Structure 1
Amino acid sequence: MKKKIASLLLSATTAAMVLSGCGSAATETGEQDQSQEKTESEDKAETTSEDTDAASEDKAAQAIADRKAEAEKSGTYQKVVISFFDWTGRPAGLDRVNEALCAYTEETLGLDVELQIIDSAAYGDDMKLMLSSGEQVDIFSTCILGYSSSINNGYTLDLEENGMFDDYCGGIKEKVRQDYIDACRVGGVLYGTPPIKDYAIETCAVCVGQEYLDGIGYDVSKLPLSDLGYPKATWDDINEIYSQLHAKYPDKYVMAIQDNELTQGSSVDNIGGDYFGTLLDPQNSLKIEDVYASDIFKEWAQRAYDWNQAGYLSQDALTDTTGASAKVKSGSYMAMMACCKPGYKTQISGECGRDMVVFDVGESFMSSSSISSFPWCVNQNTEDPVATLQVLNALYTDSTIETLMCWGQEGKDFQVNSDGTITYADGVDANNSEYYPNVLWLMPNPYVTYVWQGDPLDLGQQISDFNDNCACKSKALGFTWDNSDYASEYTALKNAYDEFGPSVVYGFVEPEKGIADLENALKAAGLDDYMAAKQEALDAWAKENGIN
């Protein structure tokens, strides 16, 4: 495969060598001459850059033309498969959307492009099986699957191999800031590109169905509004609401709880993408600490235990892996926890199939891995890396492709309002929609397509501003830990957590005993050594980047 790519790129490499041989002699004849030299040097560099960009565009265009010519001869278009998940499984209208997508990409890319959408509960296991067995998957989201795990398991392609990223992903480089791209490097290698999204989060949003709040007569207007415009609540407020909901609707579960209390409910920084060694005060300190021994975790464990004892939680919480929003959509649950951001009310209402009230109980936070949490990656074994990278590039730049991926087909799944926003097509709603993946935050670049009714047209700019103005940014922002030398230790820690952690998180065991059992298991699995390795890598990174 590498030889094949190398031959395709040989002419561009030769051209780059010729261009790099051009230069100008230095002069010391005074300030005016130096200024003139600088101007000429800048002009030459700019010209060189333009020539390189033009060469890349020519190569990209030629690759597409070659594929079209081959398809004309063979009668079959080469296929690229994109895999990701949603909360409710394979959409009923997926075949129809894929047909429309292929009709478009055959013309624009000389390819058939197929969306493969898997239920979130099965995505991790299914993807591991497909990626390890050789089943076709070309581009995939690492959400749930894990970015570090995907790299360690050898699933991911080096996107910059033989200059491919420069040649075929110029659109991504224009759309995504360089420091955000660099944040996805592991060991200096670029294995993925981040979805354009809210890298900052407003930690801990409690989302409750409006109909249930109306049922208990709760006046949301009595609460002050947060900076994002959501009602600002305390945990006492939430506990009061939960108590009233449980009394009014005893046949429903109050909260669809999940193992996300640290990810979505705190400003703890999960260094390296896991919680086996964290920053408890990420804005001010680079000290790696054990979160499971912290007061933060103890408070969450006690809160979940109290909710479980009060009957707010399902007794199947440990085994039911259905997404929280899907549970609320089913009508059996009334509330869930998440992270919020500008436009989140529209998003979560769509996911839950009902009008949701978003209570802001947290603060804005950007963790070290917020950018690199779940990049989009290319399968190491993809048959045609050039074609696949061109599709990856199109996911960030082509509004038609991204519209089909995010919203489906106009007139069948959605319609455009007079103000430029979109809503369900005539006769379609949240219950009978055939295509509404509910994972806009996962998509490569949802801001090149429409925004949903109720959201501002400048939502993308608001998200960008939200990122830039985040109140609490981790000092380790941009640090990515390559834990491949500690893969066995990680597995042991994960197994220890899986045995003892969920019962604590879901409130099925008294916190003091549950946490003690969890701590003993983690220590026996090598937590201290794992944390020490993280600290060493983080200290080296901080020194290299001048961060104290």
Structure 2
Amino acid sequence: MKNKKVLVCLLTAAMTLGLTACGGESKSQSKKEKNEGYDQVTYAYATFNNIPAEEDLDTVEEAINEITRKKIHTEVTLMPIAIADYSNKVSLALQGGEKIDVYQSMGDFNNYVSTDMAYDITDLLKEEGEGIVDTVGEDWLAACSKEGHTYGVPTMKPVALTPMVIYREDIAEEMGIDMSAVSSMEDMTDILKKVKESYPNMTPVAPVQTGEIGVSVNYGEIDFLTDDRYSPVGVLEGDQLEVEDLYSSDVFREKCELVRGWYEDGLVMKDAATTTSMAAELMSSGNYFCYIAAYSYPEEDTAASLQQQCGTYPIGAKIIGDAYLSTADLNGLSWMIASTTDVPEAAMKFLDLTYTDKDVINLLIYGIEGRDYVMNDDGTVSYPEGEDASTVPYTAQLSCGTLGNFFLMHPMEGTNPDSLEWEKEQNETAKTSPAMGFTFDSDSVKTQYTAVKNVISQYLPGLICGSLDPDTEVDKFVQALNDAGYQEILKAKQEQLDTWAEGQK
């Protein structure tokens, strides 16, 4: 398999986006009225690319429905939602009873299960999801289970995420910067200063998404214990089975101090903590030198795929850390069926197609051949001449590692056919958390979780983007966490972890 595309790790802060702009409930209802003979499934997926115009989205939707009407007697409404808005928007929609049938967890697996937003798909998988079971396997499905019941399906993809710097290769070559010598975030400081000196109107570091410039993927051997890595509550470090407070740790303060220095020196976007602009858009503007994220592909393939997103500027990629696997690496990007769905069988049938039908998954990722992408003679795909990800009517290419079966997707131009073996090796050899398989049940601390998450959203983006001074704000952050019930959550996690560990003996 040649296709090595990019998964931006991302992940997510809560913003606002109108559902109707994403193909929301009113669109689903009107379709249902017109096509009473077919089951209606609304598929909500996160995109790191632009939200397409409704008429352009409709074209892709109809192409998919030409397949699903025949295969599963179902019509699908596509609901792409910007990654920065995804978790909050989906949660609000599910709580409000709006029409979403299939959605992805994006780091919130435990929350969706504990708040009864997820359908128990144990029996549905046996009846309508055989393709998923055969593709993903029982071991991976076990990471999406609770008390013997399955609530999600992991995305089929390389899972060992490796932190990287994505940078302007032309600028690095022009300035004689040796990126091969970079092995950590800290190594980037002098480079960023040199870029700023030579290009005073350029901002060296772009955020990868709202409130994230790379800190969350560079803590090292940290298991977030099935929390969202972008707002974790209680973690493990290294080989220890002791739940720790990340925000009081030396590693957290050191990273905050590092990016604070970048911020004060003008090396990072000033409003990175709140901007809705994302890395691909910012890099394609030509006003940024680099960004930091995590990917599960080799440097060469990561750069080649991102080159398609960032216009005419040559892109390079440099690994700056090691992969580290935990349960959340499997269930953090998992697909779920809403507990409120009125068409669970149809929802599972369509979800199964995203893992087994090459035409369906490539329509979701690339859109319409000839309009949104072109097929090259060697079997790879690229954007039409003169176009890129920001100009074609539809693309969700940057979501390739988050939708269905990655290995059925067309390879992007410039990728290396030998990379699959590298990815398999990474999955097999990456260091694994001692708590692999553990899933935290937050039912007993729901109130505290809500309060703590609110505190995290108030402080964390500013601290890890440099706009808040760690010398004064970290202590305030920790105190506010404790006032919100943080220690009660840590205690509950430790108790459950101890019980789980005892059962592994």
Are 1:529 and 2:488 matched, yes or no? Answer: yes
Give TM-score, length-normalised by structure 2. Answer: 0.85
1:184-195 matches, within 5 Å, as: 184-195=144-155
| Residue of structure 2 equivalent to 1:316 | 271
Instruction: Return the letter of the residue paired with 1:82.
Output: Y
> Which structure is larger by alpha-carbon Rg, 1 or 2?
1
Inter-partner Cα distance in structure 2 for 1:235 and 1:375: 29
| Residue of structure 2 equivalent to 1:171 | 131
Q: Which segment is superposed worse, 78-87 or 347-356? A: 347-356
**Matched residue SS, 2:100:** coil
Residues 419 and 531 of structure 1: CA distance in aligned 2, closer, same or farther (over 3 Å): same
1:295-306 matches, within 5 Å, as: 295-306=250-261
Tell me the CA shift for residue 89 of structure 1: 3.4
2:49–2:389 Cα contact (<8 Å) kept = no
**Matched residue SS, 1:337:** strand
1:187-266 matches, within 5 Å, as: 187-202=147-162, 204-220=163-179, 223=180, 232-235=182-185, 237-257=187-207, 258-259=211-212, 261-266=214-219
Tell me the CA shift for residue 243 of structure 1: 0.8
Residues 461 and 444 of structure 1: CA distance in aligned 2, closer, same or farther (over 3 Å): farther
Tell me the CA shift for residue 247 of structure 1: 1.2
1:253–1:313 Cα contact (<8 Å) kept = yes
The alignment's C-alpha RMSD in Å is 2.3
Residues 461 and 324 of structure 1: CA distance in aligned 2, closer, same or farther (over 3 Å): same
Segments of 4+ moved more than 6 angstroms: none
| Residue of structure 2 equivalent to 1:491 | 450
| Residue of structure 2 equivalent to 1:23 | none
How many pairs were matched up? 459
Tell me the CA shift for residue 389 of structure 1: 0.8
| Residue of structure 2 equivalent to 1:417 | 376
Instruction: Give % identity.
Output: 26
**Matched residue SS, 2:362:** helix
1:386-465 matches, within 5 Å, as: 386-437=345-396, 438-457=398-417, 459-465=419-425
Tell me the CA shift for residue 439 of structure 1: 1.0
Residues 421 and 74 of structure 1: CA distance in aligned 2, closer, same or farther (over 3 Å): closer
| Residue of structure 2 equivalent to 1:352 | 310
Inter-partner Cα distance in structure 2 for 1:401 and 1:461: 26
Larger % of helix: which?
A: 1
Tell me the CA shift for residue 234 of structure 1: 4.1
Are 1:270 and 2:224 matched, yes or no? Answer: yes
Q: Which segment is superposed worse, 323-332 or 263-272? A: 323-332
Instruction: Return the letter of the residue paired with 2:153.
Output: T
**Matched residue SS, 1:250:** coil
Structure 2: unaligned runs, 5 residues or longer: 1-31
Are 1:87 and 2:48 matched, yes or no? Answer: yes
Q: Which segment is superposed worse, 360-369 or 125-134? A: 125-134
1:369–1:479 Cα contact (<8 Å) kept = no
Inter-partner Cα distance in structure 2 for 1:493 and 1:124: 17
Tell me the CA shift for residue 414 of structure 1: 2.1
Instruction: Return the letter of the residue paired with 1:157.
Output: Y
1:86–1:120 Cα contact (<8 Å) kept = yes
Tell me the alpha carbon deviations over residues 430-471 of structure 1, each in whole angstroms, 9 at most, x when there is no partner: 34222221111111112113111122346555433321121x
Q: Which segment is superposed worse, 253-262 or 90-99? A: 253-262
Inter-partner Cα distance in structure 1 for 2:472 and 2:41: 51
Instruction: Return the letter of the residue paired with 1:448.
Output: L
Q: Which segment is superposed worse, 480-489 or 331-340? A: 331-340
1:43-62 matches, within 5 Å, as: none
Inter-partner Cα distance in structure 2 for 1:368 and 1:312: 35
Tell me the CA shift for residue 133 of structure 1: 2.3
Residues 75 and 277 of structure 1: CA distance in aligned 2, closer, same or farther (over 3 Å): closer
Inter-partner Cα distance in structure 1 for 2:294 and 2:339: 32
Tell me the CA shift for residue 256 of structure 1: 1.8
Give TM-score, length-normalised by structure 1. Answer: 0.79
2:60–2:367 Cα contact (<8 Å) kept = yes
| Residue of structure 1 equivalent to 2:25 | none
| Residue of structure 2 equivalent to 1:19 | none
Q: Which segment is superposed worse, 534-543 or 500-509? A: 500-509
Structure 1: unaligned runs, 5 residues or longer: 1-70, 225-231
| Residue of structure 2 equivalent to 1:125 | 88
1:136-155 matches, within 5 Å, as: 136-143=99-106, 146-155=108-117
1:87–1:322 Cα contact (<8 Å) kept = no
Inter-partner Cα distance in structure 1 for 2:418 and 2:364: 20
Tell me the alpha carbon deviations over residues 169-189 of structure 1, each in whole angstroms, 9 at most, x when there is no partner: 111111012111001113332
Tell me the CA shift for residue 378 of structure 1: 0.5
Q: 2:339 aligns with which of 357, 380, 386?
A: 380
Q: 1:289 aligns with which of 237, 240, 244?
A: 244
| Residue of structure 2 equivalent to 1:22 | none
Residues 248 and 182 of structure 1: CA distance in aligned 2, closer, same or farther (over 3 Å): same
**Matched residue SS, 1:98:** helix
| Residue of structure 1 equivalent to 2:74 | 111
| Residue of structure 2 equivalent to 1:68 | none
Inter-partner Cα distance in structure 2 for 1:120 and 1:74: 30
**Matched residue SS, 1:425:** coil
**Matched residue SS, 1:532:** helix
Residues 91 and 245 of structure 1: CA distance in aligned 2, closer, same or farther (over 3 Å): same
**Matched residue SS, 2:308:** helix
Inter-partner Cα distance in structure 2 for 1:454 and 1:491: 45
